[in-house]
Structure 1
Amino acid sequence: MRISAIAAALLLASCTSSTVPPQAAAPVAEAGEWTSDGRDYSAQRYSPLTQINAANVSQLGLAWYDDLDTYRGVEATPLYADGVLYNTLPWNITIAYDARTGERLWTYDPKVPREYGRYACCEPVSRGLAMDEGKIIIATLDGRLIALDRANGEPIWTSRAFPEQTTYAYSITGAPRVFDGKVVIGQSGGDMGVRGFAAAFDADTGEQIWKFFLTPNPEDRPDGEASDGVNAMMRATWADEGMWRQLGGGANPWDSFAYDPELNLVYVGTGNAVPHARYYRSNGEGDNLFVCSIVALDADTGEYRWHYQMNPGEEWDWTCTQSMISADLEIDGRQRKVLMQAPKNGFFYVLDRETGEFISAEAHVFQNWNAGFDANGRPITRESVRYTGMPALVAPGPGGAHNWFPMAFSPRTGLAYFPAYQSAFPFAVMPDWTPAPLRSNSGWGATGEEAVRRQGELFAEAAQYEKAWLTAWDPVKQEAAWQVELPRHGNGGVFVTASDLVFEGTTRQTFAAFDARTGEELWSYPTQSAPVAGGITYMLDGVQYVAVNAGWGGGAAQIERGAGTELPRSAARLLVFKLGGTAQLPPLPPQASAPPEPPRLRADEATIERGRALFAQTCALCHGQNAIGGVKDLRHMDRATHDKFSDIVLGGIYLDKGMASFSDILSEDDVAAIHAYVIARANEDWGR
């Protein structure tokens, strides 16, 4: 049975265990369970378990592990209930395990077409699953919602979040959420050009209940959906002319959702605008609602209740899709029901979750875009960061000060915990830019000798800002309680326990436990790959376990600029720990040798410049800005790969690896120009 809204609210307030039947819905997890992405409706990622504590965490050892047979990024938060651990991998392959031993109980492969790897920013990842009564619900990269029988993995129903054939390059990489019998999901694709929306489906049948578009109808007409009531309000914030009509405007909610059962509100965190450059998107005008916002909707009808926009007229690839956490805090002597978020723009926000009222915000990294907030909480954007044809250095960079990596909050310490990243990036409007289907439609990037020279100088300046931390943040005082510096971007999501332990995967290729009050590192385990996912903890047969996916990749690999090389690592694994665990990982394979010497550069400057522009528009999503890092660092191709470059890009010979053919949008001359640019970049960094 499903818990009532009142009972769920009491559970949130107490953060203690509940005495519900084993087959209860996700928000009523017992103390030893983890049955939804954020553990319960508050999404605090706070566990009341205390068996593992500061005094004994040093005894934590590996209980069991499972090789996941992929070098792709594994970003999912596992789920646990009734002795079974549920996990999902790239391409939405879903596995159920005996949580004691790691034995695979069933595996379900939805057979996602590998061509969809082209449409997914940052790899064909999945950030998790949803659980409802006897079902596990997956949201596939190609837009299907599938309810599986928890006992055997057999499909119960299948629905679609978006059509198979669509004007927009939609995909799904975020975890679905179940809120009081409704499956809520958004979609990815904002870099390709989409019109974002959130939708709710009946968890028992898969039938759509409501849909809310997050940008106005480009044809200036009603959609016949829940968003029609505010379509005029949205439309007033967009210019009459602009490429938003062709590309949808963005604002796609590609990751986090939240829910308050007492208020009956679903909170939707929205994504970046498209094209990125407001110059092209909306004639350089307008707030462009609802890009980079939190939008509160009636959970039953999808109707608009309130919104707060973090970045009016967003154009820096910033998103507000990061973790949204509910808590009740005393602020200025008054008890407030708050919603907290640290989005990509470098600020930590505290809002009233009932009304959307701005309570406070403060920067937690260096930033240069914000000159303060007005009396209504509207951010004051410095005009110097509204880029033109000459590059402007903007902080944070497009990777964001806090990306999708999950945040946690402890009601014991009153602190929020999240991985932070300080960065900057040179933005510029690309002259004479035109959008192209199924490519990265940013509209930014320097061209021309002077602009490219200046961009190079600013990239060097930006490198000086790069730092990464595990940050503990006081949302009442709006200041850091402590920070632990970590070596590079891509540190994992966190969770916190009632024994005042914070667990996080790090780019030291460790999984570590920190004192939640001081930041002291109390334990670490060499994982042979950086765990970027959010971990969980659960109790089974009186034993507390900790589980995390260790699989470097995804957005972390593509944003990485520090070293610009792939980490020497093992294939991805699911790792499960307990006190006294004695399992051992096999030795890490020998580190790869130095990058091979690239071919001689023979193309002329005009060809290289054309290839640079094509790479930025077509390839950078997966292979990194400036051809650094990514799923595969193309500067490090061997001679054999160079020889078949055209066969890979046009012939699709690596389709089974997720590298589909681009013959529908690239010509042989285009591919030759891209190849010339990659060779040029390889030679630059080789030292020629």
Structure 2
Amino acid sequence: MADLAKNWPVAVNAAAGVVLAGFIGWQFISGGADSAGTPVVEAPVIETPAEEPAPRGLADIDGARIAAADAEPGNWLSHGRTYDEQRFSPLDDINDGNIGELALAWSLDTYTTRGLEATPIVVDGIMYLSLNWGVTIAVDAKSGSEIWRFDPEVPGEWGRYGCCDVVNRGVAVWKGRVYTASFDGRLFALDAADGSVVWEVNTIPGPPYTITGAPRVFGDKVVIGNGGAEYGVRGYITAYDTDTGEQAWRFYTVPGDPALPVEHPELEAAMPTWKGGEWWKIGGGGTAWDSMVYEPESNTLYVGTGNGSPWTREIRSPGGGDNLYLSSILALDADTGRMKWYYQTTPGDNWDYTATQPLMLADIEIDGAQRKVIMQAPKNGFFYVLDRETGKLISANPFSTTTWASHVDLETGRPVETGEGEFGHATAFVLPSANGAHNWHPMAFHPGTGLVYIPTQDIAGIYSLSEQWKNEGTYTPKENWWNTGMDWTAYIDAITALPEVPMEKGYLKAWDPVTGEARWQAEYPAPLNGGVLATAGNLVFQGTADGYFHAYKADTGERVWSQYIQTGIVAAPVTYTVDGEQYIAVLAGWGGVNIVSGDARTSAAAKYGNEGRLLAFKIGGGGELPQLALRDQSIPDWPALTADEATVRQGEIAYTQYCMLCHGALAISPGVTPDLRRMGENIREHFQDIVRGGILSDNGMASFADLVSEEDVEAILSYIQKRALEDKARGEPTN
């Protein structure tokens, strides 16, 4: 009302300068004089004060409101708060001066035990977010009480199709509806009031496609990509009408069968960059499984694309070529889906160096000129700054250890490879690994410091070509299973040959995008830590794999606050206000790529289990974080091993191919899924029924009868038994 009152006109009689009491808002205008000389005063013109805006409906968000998000910093209206996805908040009630008083306000159990990766959306005191499988909830952002819950009821056996857990990174909200995607590829429009389904559409042809990313919404269109490149799918992005669910456009990221017509002209240009091979039979890849960012000014949707299928170009495109549009940033017309420009970060990608990591728009000064840029820190280890209007490369500097390339040529825009990344017929150790120098975990930009805060890590990758390809020059893909073209047994043999498995490091790096250097960094004992939030309170927040939630000074990197959560955090925090109080909220639940690559030695999930929780903090919060019970990490007694060496080796190979991706290398679970060394006698007795019979499919353990025989299952059990006996004799830590 105060702002409206400032704009109300003050009524003044222009002729006499008289303000009539009781008629504020009336304006008297002199009409001259009549023939007798008597002044004539025209009837007053009434100017009606501007009406108060009608109360907003629930989740009443549109493009204008998101574009003006800084005018209401107490909300978090879209995935990265604003369309530019900088994940910076102007709120400063919580700041580096009072951060010591930050305490838990409330916690909400999510009743999940898998990775939680979503960024909550907060609109007018209500929080909307997704959990595992695409389950979506609405929560009172002040009290933490759940308002409604929507379960898409994804069949549990679909969990087999996820490369990296059954995660979901969030929802979009638009004009009273919540848009959310299920793990099995369906897109839903839900009524924001009660979570009821308004419409749903199946976005995929079937398994092994999945969806783990958050939709984006703009101009009455909702856009979603998909995952599954490891399994052999063809990537695409689709826009749907927000009101009806009808498809508006679709952009395929790689060409299909050359014998068939191309779906759109951009694929004509891509086709010559795929040389030899039959990539279309193995999908081709290029899935847009995470990063998208929309710019209203130019009506452009920027999309990051993923790795090839298989990973190695030697199999999918043996004649070479850049294999467009793998590992690329695409600029698409948001209305039509037609491409404006592209930039490929890793031409002919061989290492799963996706460019699906978060994209961010900013206006920054470079060489004395203000530039409109798009920034990304993809898996390959170089931080890219591009002109977002033209796609021209401005800079690319290594932000982590990179052995596969020495630098990026600024004239050609191409990386200069060292040759150390070539693995051909030998096993190669390469940095970064397929986990990336930076994975999907959101980074943040602070306009005050000019720094980008990036969750990074140093993890060595071990690459070796498929034995079938090396021996026969052919490759037979497996239906509904990983088809990377890699020899995972060589990976395990390389680890086993080491005197001890090396510890991997994680970092939070404050990166200067202008100078191409790190201003400061915080080091962690484990990689693959959580996403980042920056605030005007000179603070940066991040959760970690080992169960902490930290705050740092944005300018200096000084750690000024920590809370032990007991659960690993991979999601990014958000901040908002309710009734004048600022909150910091984050999902705690370890998983995602950690299901494959996490380290049990540093995992809070291995110690306490992985009970998911939504946590909110405020200054002077009086909540108490419930204490989780320590998990029994002891290995039970196993009988003496009677299987011969050949059987155990058969089991090791089969375990590595089919079990390791969920249950961990060397049969050591990082803590998200069951550690098979700790199987009780009852589980061992029903091992065949579980692995081949699928009796636990409702829990996500699908049948593998199409991939392993009864003999294989017995051999796998023998290998697990061997590993259990070895580690028990070694003295595995117990509680």
TM (normalized to structure 2)? 0.86
1:472 is aligned, of 495, 501, 510, to 510
1:607 maps to amino acid: T
Instruction: Assess if the C-alpha contact under 8 Å between 1:425 and 1:462 holds in 2.
Output: no
**How far 1:368 moved relative to its partner?**
0.2
Match of 2:691 in 1: 649
Matched, 1:337 2:347: no
Match of 1:402 in 2: 438
Structure 2 CA distance for aligned equivalents of residues 211 and 428 of structure 1: 35
User: SS of 2:552's equivalent?
Assistant: strand
Instruction: Assess if the C-alpha contact under 8 Å between 2:512 and 2:519 holds in 1.
Output: yes
Structure 1 CA distance for aligned equivalents of residues 652 and 331 of structure 2: 41
User: SS of 1:236's equivalent?
Assistant: helix
Match of 1:173 in 2: 212
**How far 1:179 moved relative to its partner?**
2.3
Match of 1:418 in 2: 454
1:359 is aligned, of 390, 394, 405, to 394
1:559 maps to amino acid: S
- Aligned CA distance change for structure 1 residues 383 and 574 (closer, same or farther; 3 Å): same
Could you list the runs of 5+ residues in structure 1 that have no partner in the other structure?
Answer: 1-17
Match of 2:29 in 1: none
* Deviation readout 1:637-676 (Å, 9 max, x if unpaired): 3333222221111121212221111223332123223333
Matched, 1:442 2:478: no
User: SS of 1:554's equivalent?
Assistant: coil
Match of 2:625 in 1: 585
2:260 is aligned, of 213, 221, 226, to 221
Structure 1 CA distance for aligned equivalents of residues 715 and 476 of structure 2: 18
User: SS of 2:223's equivalent?
Assistant: strand
**How far 1:20 moved relative to its partner?**
11
Structure 1 CA distance for aligned equivalents of residues 310 and 506 of structure 2: 28
1:25 is aligned, of 57, 62, 74, to 62
**How far 1:174 moved relative to its partner?**
0.7
2:253 maps to amino acid: L
**How far 1:540 moved relative to its partner?**
1.0
Matched, 1:629 2:669: yes
Match of 1:113 in 2: 155
1:182-197 equivalences under 5 Å are 182-197=221-236
Match of 2:81 in 1: 39
Structure 1 CA distance for aligned equivalents of residues 638 and 217 of structure 2: 50
**How far 1:46 moved relative to its partner?**
0.7
1:543 is aligned, of 561, 577, 581, to 581
- Aligned CA distance change for structure 1 residues 543 and 515 (closer, same or farther; 3 Å): same
Match of 1:7 in 2: none
Instruction: Assess if the C-alpha contact under 8 Å between 2:488 and 2:657 holds in 1.
Output: no
Structure 1 CA distance for aligned equivalents of residues 540 and 348 of structure 2: 36
1:661 maps to amino acid: S
**How far 1:541 moved relative to its partner?**
0.8
Structure 1 CA distance for aligned equivalents of residues 647 and 494 of structure 2: 21
- Aligned CA distance change for structure 1 residues 426 and 687 (closer, same or farther; 3 Å): farther
**How far 1:151 moved relative to its partner?**
1.1
* Deviation readout 1:365-385 (Å, 9 max, x if unpaired): 211001222321111223231
Structure 2 CA distance for aligned equivalents of residues 640 and 174 of structure 1: 38
* Deviation readout 1:372-399 (Å, 9 max, x if unpaired): 2232111122323121232110011121
- Aligned CA distance change for structure 1 residues 396 and 651 (closer, same or farther; 3 Å): same
Match of 1:54 in 2: 96
Instruction: Assess if the C-alpha contact under 8 Å between 1:391 and 1:455 holds in 2.
Output: no
- Find runs of 4+ consecutive structure 1 residues off by over 6 angstroms: none
**How far 1:223 moved relative to its partner?**
4.4
Match of 1:326 in 2: 361
Q: Could you tell which deviates more after superposition, 45-54 or 587-596?
A: 587-596
Matched, 1:569 2:604: no
The structure number with the bigger radius of gyration is 2
- Aligned CA distance change for structure 1 residues 282 and 527 (closer, same or farther; 3 Å): same
Match of 1:378 in 2: 414
Structure 2 CA distance for aligned equivalents of residues 682 and 445 of structure 1: 24
- Aligned CA distance change for structure 1 residues 406 and 599 (closer, same or farther; 3 Å): farther
**How far 1:188 moved relative to its partner?**
1.0
* Deviation readout 1:152-183 (Å, 9 max, x if unpaired): 111111112113xx4x5100011111122211
Match of 1:296 in 2: 331
Structure 1 CA distance for aligned equivalents of residues 477 and 398 of structure 2: 34
Match of 1:14 in 2: none
Matched, 1:498 2:536: yes
Instruction: Assess if the C-alpha contact under 8 Å between 1:210 and 1:301 holds in 2.
Output: yes
2:713 maps to amino acid: V
Instruction: Assess if the C-alpha contact under 8 Å between 1:424 and 1:462 holds in 2.
Output: no
After superposition, the CA RMSD in angstroms is: 2.2
- Aligned CA distance change for structure 1 residues 441 and 603 (closer, same or farther; 3 Å): farther
Structure 2 CA distance for aligned equivalents of residues 529 and 558 of structure 1: 17
- Aligned CA distance change for structure 1 residues 36 and 452 (closer, same or farther; 3 Å): closer
- Aligned CA distance change for structure 1 residues 296 and 613 (closer, same or farther; 3 Å): farther
- Aligned CA distance change for structure 1 residues 530 and 564 (closer, same or farther; 3 Å): closer
**How far 1:454 moved relative to its partner?**
5.1
Q: Could you tell which deviates more after superposition, 231-240 or 665-674?
A: 665-674
- Aligned CA distance change for structure 1 residues 652 and 410 (closer, same or farther; 3 Å): same
User: SS of 1:595's equivalent?
Assistant: coil
- Aligned CA distance change for structure 1 residues 601 and 440 (closer, same or farther; 3 Å): farther
The number of residue pairs the alignment matches comes to: 660
Match of 2:199 in 1: 157
Structure 2 CA distance for aligned equivalents of residues 345 and 428 of structure 1: 18
2:523 maps to amino acid: E
Match of 1:65 in 2: 107
Instruction: Assess if the C-alpha contact under 8 Å between 1:95 and 1:107 holds in 2.
Output: yes
Structure 2 CA distance for aligned equivalents of residues 601 and 354 of structure 1: 64
Match of 1:200 in 2: 239
Match of 2:285 in 1: 250
1:315 is aligned, of 345, 350, 367, to 350
Structure 1 CA distance for aligned equivalents of residues 241 and 146 of structure 2: 29
* Deviation readout 1:271-324 (Å, 9 max, x if unpaired): 111111222222262211111111111111111111111111112122111110
Matched, 1:620 2:660: yes
2:713 is aligned, of 646, 671, 674, to 671
User: SS of 1:385's equivalent?
Assistant: coil
TM (normalized to structure 1)? 0.92
Matched, 1:81 2:118: no
* Deviation readout 1:481-514 (Å, 9 max, x if unpaired): 1000111123110111111111111233121211
- Aligned CA distance change for structure 1 residues 603 and 33 (closer, same or farther; 3 Å): same
Structure 2 CA distance for aligned equivalents of residues 462 and 397 of structure 1: 15
User: SS of 1:233's equivalent?
Assistant: helix
**How far 1:455 moved relative to its partner?**
5.7
Structure 1 CA distance for aligned equivalents of residues 729 and 54 of structure 2: 65
Instruction: Assess if the C-alpha contact under 8 Å between 1:91 and 1:141 holds in 2.
Output: yes
- Aligned CA distance change for structure 1 residues 101 and 562 (closer, same or farther; 3 Å): closer
Instruction: Assess if the C-alpha contact under 8 Å between 2:492 and 2:666 holds in 1.
Output: no
**How far 1:104 moved relative to its partner?**
1.5
Instruction: Assess if the C-alpha contact under 8 Å between 1:37 and 1:77 holds in 2.
Output: yes
Match of 1:135 in 2: 177
- Aligned CA distance change for structure 1 residues 524 and 447 (closer, same or farther; 3 Å): closer
**How far 1:564 moved relative to its partner?**
7.8
Match of 2:39 in 1: none
User: SS of 2:231's equivalent?
Assistant: coil
2:659 maps to amino acid: C
Instruction: Assess if the C-alpha contact under 8 Å between 2:300 and 2:334 holds in 1.
Output: yes
User: SS of 2:230's equivalent?
Assistant: coil
Q: Could you tell which deviates more after superposition, 616-625 or 48-57?
A: 616-625
Instruction: Assess if the C-alpha contact under 8 Å between 2:235 and 2:254 holds in 1.
Output: yes
Match of 1:390 in 2: 426
User: SS of 1:481's equivalent?
Assistant: strand
User: SS of 1:617's equivalent?
Assistant: helix
